Structure 1
Amino acid sequence: MDTNLPASANPRVVIIGCGFGGLRLAKALRHAPVQVVVVDRNNYHNFQPLLYQVATGALEADSIAYPIRKIFAGQKNFFYRMADVHRVEPSTNTVVTSVGDIRYNYLVLATGSLTNFFGLESIERNAMQIKSIPNALNLRSFIFQNFEKALLTENPEERQALLNIVVVGGGPTGVEISGSLAEMRKHVLPKDYPELDLRTMQIFLVEAAPVLLGPMSPASQADAKRYLDELGVKVLLNTSIKKFENCRAYFSDTEFIPTENLVWAAGVNGAEVPGLPAEAITRNKRVTVNRWNQVVGLSNVFAIGDVANMVTEDMPRGMPMLAPVAQQQADQLAKNIERLLRGEAPKDFVYTNKGSMAIVSRNKAVVDLPKNVHFNGFFGWLTWLFVHLMTLVGFRNRVVALVDWAFSYFNSDQALRLIIRPFSRRDVKDDKGKKSAEHRTATPEYNPTPPAIQTPV
């Protein structure tokens, strides 16, 4: 059963995932003599770099998502099936999905990445993550629900835990959400919760490495740290959260930060698909590919983006898990597929680094460009806004995002503080859509000793 896909004389290219890589590849094949089939569990493309703004109420969820079918309206060789992928069967050139089996001539894995909890079970059970739109909406609801609870409790330690927010991971996501939360604490929350003493609310950014924004330049690392310090974020470097339970984030066996809100942004794994040869799966569950993104040991299966582990002399640990890498690999793979159809040899992928950037707060961002070009502050902030605005899919999304940003900038406010669907940990699901176990009781017990807040010296 091919899920009612029409018969075609052209080879079928099945793409699993419609993130940056899958979307770009399907578009690049629009004029190729192939049938393009995209399989994704969501019927929309999600702009992940702005998820943190959904989580903090700066943007609507539908501002960073766009319907897949609308994106490809008019592309005659394109077909979409909404489904979960269970496994691939390379021996029969088949993808087994929740809606039936799909045969392929060429298969492309563009499944992206999942949160890596590094085997820390208590954190996986209890922490919030921010890898999808449901994650972001849940985080937003959870934070505001806890502020409502803080108004009602008479226990000062419980109130402190409800107000404290711990962000783990000093990469772009961790830095950006910490800065956004700090701005919300300053400009937004005092208007909504005048009864709370928000001076007691603490935002912690915890990073195991000695610096923030590890892949970026030392200048950007220092600027980001300085900006966060100015915002009142407590940055803890060379520190790891080892356990999170009973509303305590432990960084040693006895030292902890009391919090009900722990956001895990510390690492990712490749979103591998069952059925691939064991020798193709490498560190962080990424799939080993050669220089034209062909999966090791398989002639007609390819991987691009975060899930692909392409090792080169310049990058012995593999290509960085960034959107530009996925997009450039998609462009090259589209050309290589057409070469293969013509009986020509594929060409190697060469990554062009166009730079990296991270925003910390309003008027504060850091930007690194090739040839050691670095700038920050207001100009960096404008650059970040422009690049992300232009990268959003759909004219409507760009207009809505621009209007929301302008409103927040001139009004120092974020209007999307709605608890539309109250979040319960009993209902939480993991990245794969499977229901997780109940995380912890709604009213945890608090021990008056040791001290309420213990941070590293």
Structure 2
Amino acid sequence: MNSQVYQTVIIGGGFTGLFTALHLAHEHYPRSVILIDKNERFCFKPLLYEYFDGEMDTVQVVPRFSELLQGSGVIFVQDSVQSIDLHQREVKLASGNSYNYSNLVLALGSVTGYHHVEGAQENAFPFWTQADAIALDKHLRDCLQKALQTENLEQRRQLLTVVVVGGGASGIEMAATLADFLPHWYDALGGNQNEIRVILLNHGQEILDGDINDPLRPIAEQELQKRVVPIEIIREAEATAVRPTAIEYKSGDRVETLPTYTTIWTAGTSTNPLIKDLPIPSEHRDKHDRLLVTPTMQLLDFPEVFAGGDCAAVQDDSSLPPTAQVAYQQGANIARNLKAIAFGEDPEPAKVNLRGSLLKLGVNDAAANLFNVFEVAGEPAHLIRQGTYLTLLPTPIHDFKATTEWVNEEIFHHHLDSPDVSKKVVQAVELVGAGIVGALVARKLLKMLGDEDKRDEVMGST
């Protein structure tokens, strides 16, 4: 490697990667920063359901990296990583380009895990990216149209049946979202919304078993039955095969077949293949093949390399769940330690504060476990969830735009236009926090100021 290369390369533009890059820019990091991701857009995954069902738009949930990084000094490269040479400190891309680094940040996240279930990868729909959401949207609309046009009752039932595999948080959120908006779609086309079936296939007896959202299980169980169409839960069902027109699952000693044209796969994740291919011995990986890192987020064998998010696990600490709140906090910690190293200082252990959990349970419905102190359900929890996530969007400009649009629609139009503004809703809005209030104040100021120079000045202070 050229000893004169002093640049940091970040692979992966998810929460860990993007927040590392943005924090480095904010803290005036003295070395060049290159962020590599195969996608053009960042995906704020916790809000992908809102993008899917039309509650939020592209700018709010899947903004372009070029917009998020504008003026930051971070170089964005849209390309796929072909290989990573830790010994030569080189990253090779599919385009043929390559980058040497003085420091590397591995933020590749995880990939959908199909667990060797026959036909799952070929026939089930994942829900991980904007492209996944668009593909599923198109497929479901086609199924509804075909159902209206067929007089074959068995085929119509098959077209109108959606099976979600996996009773973790992703499966619960997907099933609840579908059970609310699919009936409305079908009704708008002239169909009978009661013909829609949403089925949740759960491997164990309990939903959310072992999940960070486990404390919210009683609320989730109740809310799943309050959707526009109640969700059918098949428990202790192990998916064994996914066909184009059916899913097979094992229940006890029997194998059952459930006819459906739509199987959605939310049953777990796998380690990114690039992480699996790294020359890291098994004793320096966890049981899921993720990379073990020191408390400072550095690889045990390659201290110039940092890793965070779903592709890493802190050595001797299995308490951190693979969630967005952990990933973006790790990104901030990695950035601080990179800056410390650049200035000849010692890196410090990362600090991650778990702030509870938020679970979407349908359109305008959610459950929130706040700091493991108290729980909120229904529309107040929905407001808390939306507001909390929006205040965590990657940059002040993006945060401001998305938050004010949401507040304008959700609070002023949806609630204040109603003759009955409940005390619970008002309390929920207060709980959303200072981020929302600040956004509203800034929005009013911008309207009064009216010119671009003053807008920039206000945005710089919010």
Q: CA deviation at 1:166?
A: 0.6
CA change 1:219–1:94 in 2 (3 A) is closer
Give the residue type in structure 2 aligned to 1:228: L
1:256 aligns with 2:257: yes
Q: Paired residue for 1:23?
A: 18
Aligned residues of 2:213 and 2:358 also touching (Cα < 8 A): no
Matched, 1:329 2:324: no
The partner residue of 1:396 within 396, 401, 412 is 401
Pick aligned residue for 1:81 from 50, 60, 77: 77
Q: 1:407 Cα shift?
A: 10
Distance 1:405 1:269 in 2: 36
Which residue pairs with 2:51 in the alignment?
A: 54
CA distance in 1, matches of 2:404, 2:260: 37
- Are residues 124 and 237 of structure 1, via their aligned partners in 2, closer, same or farther at CA, if it must alter by over 3 Å? same
Give 1:61 shift.
3.4
Partner of 1:291: 295
Shift of 1:281: 4.6
In the alignment, structure 1 residue 12 sits paired with structure 2 residue 31:
no
Which structure 2 residue ranges, 5 or more long, are not aligned? Answer: 418-462
The range that moved more, 109-118 or 267-276, is 267-276
Contact 1:294 1:303 survives alignment (8 Å):
yes
Q: Would the alpha carbon gap of residues 159 and 326 (structure 1) be closer, same or farther in structure 2, given more than 3 Å must change?
A: same
Alignment of 1:429-448 (within 5 A): none
- The 1:303–1:63 alpha-carbon spacing in structure 2 relative to 1, beyond 3 Å, is same
CA contact under 8 A between 1:229 and 1:235: conserved in structure 2?
A: no
Helix, strand or coil for the counterpart of 1:384?
helix
Q: Find 1:204's aligned residue among 199, 219, 226.
A: 199
Cα distance change of structure 1 residues 409 and 305 upon mapping to structure 2, 3 Å threshold: same
Q: 1:187 to 1:404 in 2, by over 3 A?
A: farther
Q: Which has the higher helix share?
A: 2
Classify 1:191/1:306 alpha carbon distance in 2 versus 1 (closer, same or farther; 3 Å): same
Task: Among all aligned residue pairs of Structure 1 and Structure 2, give the percentage whose two residues are the same amino acid.
Answer: 26
Counterparts of 1:176-191 in structure 2, within 5 Å, are 176-191=173-188
- Pick closer, same or farther for the CA change 1:379–1:405 going to 2, 3 Å: closer
Deviations 1:57-87 (A, max 9, x none): 33333431122222222223x2111110001
Residue in 1 that maps onto 2:443: none
- Could you give the per-residue CA deviations for residues 345-398 of structure 1, whole angstroms, max 9, x where no partner exists? 322223211111102124532111224422222321221121122233413334
Closer, same or farther: CA 137–408 of 1 in aligned 2, 3 Å: farther
Aligned to 1:235: 233
Deviation at 1:177, TM superposition (A): 1.8
| Number of the residue aligned with 1:156 | 153
Match of 2:391, SS state, is helix
8 Å contact 2:14–2:107 — kept in the other structure? yes
CA contact (8 A) 2:117 2:239 kept: no
Q: State yes or no: 1:276 paired with 2:281.
A: no
Q: What residue in structure 1 maps to residue 36 of structure 2?
A: 39
Q: State TM-score, norm by structure 1.
A: 0.81
When the two structures are aligned, how many residues end up with a matched partner?
400
Correspondence 1:338 to 2:332: no
What is the identity, as a one-letter code, of the residue corresponding to 1:50?
A: L
CA contact (8 A) 2:169 2:213 kept: no
Distance 1:219 1:41, change over 3 A: closer
User: 2:455 — aligned with what?
Assistant: none
Q: Which piece of structure 1 moves more, 398-407 or 162-171?
A: 398-407
Q: Unpaired segments of 5 or more residues in structure 1?
A: 3-7, 412-457
Q: Secondary structure of the residue that 1:145 maps to in structure 2?
A: helix
Matched, 1:220 2:216: yes
CA distance in 2, matches of 1:159, 1:116: 30
Structure with greater contact order relative to length (CA < 8 Å, sep ≥ 6): 1
CA contact 1:228–1:235 (8 Å) conserved in 2: no
Asked whether the equivalents of residues 206 and 235 of structure 1 are also in contact (C-alpha less than 8 Å), the reply is yes
Question: Per the alignment, do residues 346 and 136 of structure 1 end up closer, same or farther by CA in structure 2, a change over 3 Å counting?
Answer: same
Residues of 1 paired with 2:293 and 2:369: CA distance?
Answer: 28
- Where does structure 1 differ by over 6 angstroms across 4 or more consecutive aligned residues? none
CA distance in 1, matches of 2:206, 2:373: 19
- Shift of the 162–18 alpha-carbon distance from structure 1 to 2, 3 Å rule, reads same
Post-superposition offset of 1:53: 2.6
For residue 209 of structure 1, report the CA deviation from its aligned partner.
Answer: 2.8
Moved more, 220-229 or 10-19: 10-19
Query: Residues 241-272 of structure 1: CA distance to partner in whole angstroms, max 9, x if unpaired?
Result: 22111411112254122111111111112324
